[in-house]
Structure 1
């Protein structure tokens, strides 16, 4: 269990008059072992934060830290990150689960091989098959399907594989970016139940990103609402969704169907 801290993060694309500020001075903390929701409409900047945290978007200014260790420092210097914790230099302290599992998995590789790629190098070759099977069981997939290709699986099963792959490297924090939005409604609930189960069993620290307040309410203990690159409201999930203070939060909540709005 580790803490993710985002401090005064700015992500700017372009220069001068053509510059676009996608994230404007955002500060947000994911406490150890908790799921924090980040919600907002498309273009609000929430996915840019996710990409910045895992090193896929440039950090113009600000800091991103895991347990007080600045990730960007290791990226700029080219030095191994988190080496002071005893982790392998190739380990990644933050892993991301993307929206579309089909595009995040190589269709030419078996799902077992995709998971194996993410395993730390200190896992002996003789134990790799057993570790792959353990991870598949953890996400409620039959270990005997390790040799299957992604195309042989349903969308929900592929997303489970993507979650197993993210867990394979033993990350300190998981960033989940709209992981249910590409799934059928009938499958979304099962994946959300899995997220809650993994959080309880593994003590996961997770930044859970979604445009859907009902989804965030189901999994997150606290929520930050984002608009135009800034956080406009942040606090306990139940409190914010029951008594939102910012007009934008009220707009998002009004868009949620009443049965989902009142679900716990």
Structure 2
């Protein structure tokens, strides 16, 4: 369970995240939605220890999150997320726990199959893959670190609409197969609605609404949530 406990993050005089409390329960996908600049990505980086809270804390179970915590972040841009000088297999194997070379090769193949890519892709380089394929590799790489929680930060926003659907279906399949725990961040409420069991709405650095997805989306209580829903039909 990943828990943000009254987290505030300041950059000088600017408050990027304002007293946010949010929990990602074990085995659930929590969707975090809000417009650009609302503080979502800052919160994501705090979740993996890349940004230190000004106040409050981020906990995995009862342990403070740090750079070596078993929380993995999947970034927005699939073109910059992978080292162009490394093969796909090398990129996926990099965060793996120590094992023999044969075991690592076998695990790379297993993970590629898990994200619906042929294991032969392991010998290719990122430039030989499409954006959707690279994002699948980024997911496989995140899973290679045996994380307890994955934070997915706008992972479909840079993809074509047709490709977005395949990645979202993959997220749902992984959750069903692995009992994946994930904080899924997006500015697109329709995307969040498709994958999330819970929805949190972030506005100006604060969580303004949070609850089970059917309740938040079916009977929104905050004006900003209503605006987001209305935008889907306009």
User: If the TM-score is normalised by the length of the shorter chain, which range does it land in?
Assistant: over 0.9
User: How far has the Cα of 1:58 moved from its partner?
Assistant: 2.5
Correspondent of 1:149 among 125, 128, 131:
125
User: How far has the Cα of 1:257 moved from its partner?
Assistant: 3.4
Q: 1:43-80 CA deviation, whole Å, 9 max, x = no partner?
A: 000110001111222211111111121225xx6xxxxx
Partners of 1:178 and 1:159 in 2: CA distance: 11
Tell me the equivalent position of 2:63.
Answer: 69
Query: Alpha carbon RMSD of aligned pairs, Å?
Result: 1.1
Correspondent of 1:98 among 66, 75, 80:
75
1:1-264 alignment runs, 5 A limit: 3-14=1-12, 19-72=13-66, 92-121=69-98, 123-257=99-233
Gap regions ≥5 residues in structure 2 = none
Partners of 2:76 and 2:192 in 1: CA distance: 15
Partners of 1:136 and 1:186 in 2: CA distance: 21
Partners of 1:214 and 1:100 in 2: CA distance: 20
TM-score by length of 2: 0.97
Q: 1:2-46 CA deviation, whole Å, 9 max, x = no partner?
A: x111100011112xxxx1110010000011000000000000001
Partners of 2:159 and 2:87 in 1: CA distance: 21
User: How far has the Cα of 1:126 moved from its partner?
Assistant: 2.4
Partners of 1:62 and 1:112 in 2: CA distance: 38
User: How far has the Cα of 1:255 moved from its partner?
Assistant: 1.0
Residue aligned with 1:105, SS:
coil
User: How far has the Cα of 1:165 moved from its partner?
Assistant: 0.2
Q: 1:133-165 CA deviation, whole Å, 9 max, x = no partner?
A: 011000000001101111111110000000000
Tell me the equivalent position of 1:86.
Answer: none
Partners of 2:215 and 2:156 in 1: CA distance: 24
- How many residues are paired up? 234
User: How far has the Cα of 1:184 moved from its partner?
Assistant: 0.3
User: Displaced runs of 4+ in structure 1, greater than 6 A?
Assistant: none
Q: Choose 1 or 2 for highest CA Rg.
A: 1
User: How far has the Cα of 1:108 moved from its partner?
Assistant: 1.4
